[in-house]
Protein backbone atom coordinates (compact mmCIF):
# COMPACT_ATOMS: atom_id res chain seq x y z
CA UNK A 1 0.00 0.00 0.00
CA UNK A 2 1.84 2.99 -1.28
CA UNK A 3 1.67 6.11 0.88
CA UNK A 4 0.73 4.15 4.00
CA UNK A 5 2.79 5.07 7.06
CA UNK A 6 3.80 2.10 9.16
CA UNK A 7 4.16 2.93 12.84
CA UNK A 8 6.49 1.00 15.16
CA UNK A 9 5.13 -1.99 16.94
CA UNK A 10 6.70 -4.30 19.48
CA UNK A 11 5.14 -7.12 17.48
CA UNK A 12 6.77 -6.04 14.19
CA UNK A 13 9.92 -4.02 14.77
CA UNK A 14 11.85 -5.20 11.75
CA UNK A 15 9.87 -3.33 9.12
CA UNK A 16 9.85 0.10 10.67
CA UNK A 17 12.63 2.69 10.57
CA UNK A 18 10.80 4.67 13.26
CA UNK A 19 11.56 2.03 15.90
CA UNK A 20 14.36 4.08 17.51
CA UNK A 21 12.08 7.12 17.86
CA UNK A 22 9.35 4.93 19.33
CA UNK A 23 11.74 3.49 21.94
CA UNK A 24 13.01 6.98 22.84
CA UNK A 25 9.43 8.22 23.31
CA UNK A 26 8.56 5.22 25.47
CA UNK A 27 11.74 5.75 27.51
CA UNK A 28 10.70 9.33 28.25
CA UNK A 29 7.23 8.11 29.24
CA UNK A 30 8.70 5.45 31.54
CA UNK A 31 10.87 8.07 33.30
CA UNK A 32 8.15 10.60 34.08
CA UNK A 33 8.36 11.49 37.76
CA UNK A 34 10.88 8.72 38.46
CA UNK A 35 14.34 10.05 37.52
CA UNK A 36 16.43 9.47 40.65
CA UNK A 37 17.86 12.43 42.54
CA UNK A 38 21.50 12.95 41.66
CA UNK A 39 21.10 11.72 38.09
CA UNK A 40 23.57 13.26 35.64
CA UNK A 41 22.17 11.68 32.47
CA UNK A 42 19.78 9.02 31.29
CA UNK A 43 19.89 7.33 27.92
CA UNK A 44 18.87 4.30 25.96
CA UNK A 45 20.89 2.13 23.61
CA UNK A 46 18.75 0.49 20.93
CA UNK A 47 19.78 -2.53 18.91
CA UNK A 48 16.55 -3.83 17.38
CA UNK A 49 14.65 -5.73 20.07
CA UNK A 50 17.54 -5.34 22.55
CA UNK A 51 17.15 -2.14 24.57
CA UNK A 52 19.57 -1.05 27.31
CA UNK A 53 18.72 1.82 29.65
CA UNK A 54 21.76 3.79 30.83
CA UNK A 55 21.82 5.80 34.04
CA UNK A 56 24.71 8.07 35.00
CA UNK A 57 24.30 9.05 38.64
CA UNK A 58 26.40 10.78 41.29
CA UNK A 59 25.64 8.32 44.09
CA UNK A 60 23.85 4.97 44.00
CA UNK A 61 21.51 4.48 46.96
CA UNK A 62 18.43 2.48 47.92
CA UNK A 63 16.01 5.20 46.79
CA UNK A 64 17.75 5.54 43.41
CA UNK A 65 17.71 1.76 43.00
CA UNK A 66 13.95 1.64 43.63
CA UNK A 67 13.25 4.46 41.16
CA UNK A 68 15.52 2.85 38.56
CA UNK A 69 13.81 -0.53 38.95
CA UNK A 70 10.45 1.20 38.39
CA UNK A 71 11.74 2.89 35.22
CA UNK A 72 13.09 -0.39 33.82
CA UNK A 73 9.82 -2.18 34.63
CA UNK A 74 7.73 0.62 33.11
CA UNK A 75 9.75 0.55 29.90
CA UNK A 76 9.45 -3.23 29.64
CA UNK A 77 5.68 -2.93 30.07
CA UNK A 78 5.48 -0.20 27.42
CA UNK A 79 7.60 -2.07 24.87
CA UNK A 80 6.07 -5.49 25.42
CA UNK A 81 7.39 -9.02 25.85
CA UNK A 82 9.13 -9.23 22.46
CA UNK A 83 11.69 -6.63 23.56
CA UNK A 84 14.55 -7.42 25.96
CA UNK A 85 15.10 -4.46 28.29
CA UNK A 86 18.35 -4.41 30.29
CA UNK A 87 20.00 -1.63 32.26
CA UNK A 88 23.40 -0.18 33.09
CA UNK A 89 24.20 2.11 36.02
CA UNK A 90 27.36 4.24 35.93
CA UNK A 91 28.39 6.06 39.10
CA UNK A 92 30.38 9.16 38.17
CA UNK A 93 31.08 12.75 39.27
CA UNK A 94 29.88 14.35 36.03
CA UNK A 95 27.89 13.33 32.96
CA UNK A 96 29.68 11.82 29.99
CA UNK A 97 27.45 11.84 26.95
CA UNK A 98 30.01 10.95 24.32
CA UNK A 99 29.41 7.28 23.66
CA UNK A 100 31.30 4.83 21.48
CA UNK A 101 27.91 3.21 20.85
CA UNK A 102 26.17 4.97 17.93
CA UNK A 103 22.90 3.38 19.04
CA UNK A 104 22.74 5.42 22.27
CA UNK A 105 20.16 8.20 22.54
CA UNK A 106 20.30 10.52 25.56
CA UNK A 107 16.89 11.63 26.84
CA UNK A 108 17.92 13.51 30.00
CA UNK A 109 20.93 15.54 31.11
CA UNK A 110 21.15 17.59 34.27
CA UNK A 111 21.64 21.31 33.70
CA UNK A 112 24.58 22.17 35.98
Q: Where do the structural domains in the chain lie, given as residue ranges?
A: 19-94+103-109
When pLDDT is averaged across residues 82-103 and rounded to a whole number, the result is 91
Instruction: Confirm if 87 and 69 have CB atoms less than 8 A apart.
Output: no
Residue 45 CA, chain-centre distance (Å), reads 7
Predicted confidence (pLDDT) per residue in 14-69, tens digit: 655 688 889 999 999 999 999 999 999 999 999 989 999 999 999 999 999 999 99
Does position 5 have pLDDT exceeding 80, yes or no?
A: no
> pLDDT above 90 covers what percent of the chain?
69
pLDDT above 80: residue 78: yes
6: pLDDT strictly greater than 60? no
Q: What is the CATH number of domain 19-94+103-109?
A: 3.30.300
Tell me how far CA of residue 39 lies from CA of 5, 29, 58, 83, 109, in angstroms: 37, 17, 6, 25, 8
Average of pLDDT values for 83-92?
A: 97
Q: What pTM value is reported for the model?
A: 0.83
**Among 53, 63, 62, residue whose Cα is nearest residue 90:** 53
Higher local confidence (pLDDT), 99 or 81? 81
Residue closest to 10 by CA, chosen among 73, 75, 74, 79: 79
| Alpha helix (H) residue ranges in the chain | 19-31, 62-79
Amino acid sequence: MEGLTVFPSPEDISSTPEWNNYVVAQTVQACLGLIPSGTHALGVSIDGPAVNLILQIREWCEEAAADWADIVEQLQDLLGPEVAVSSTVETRDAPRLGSPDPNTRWVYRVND
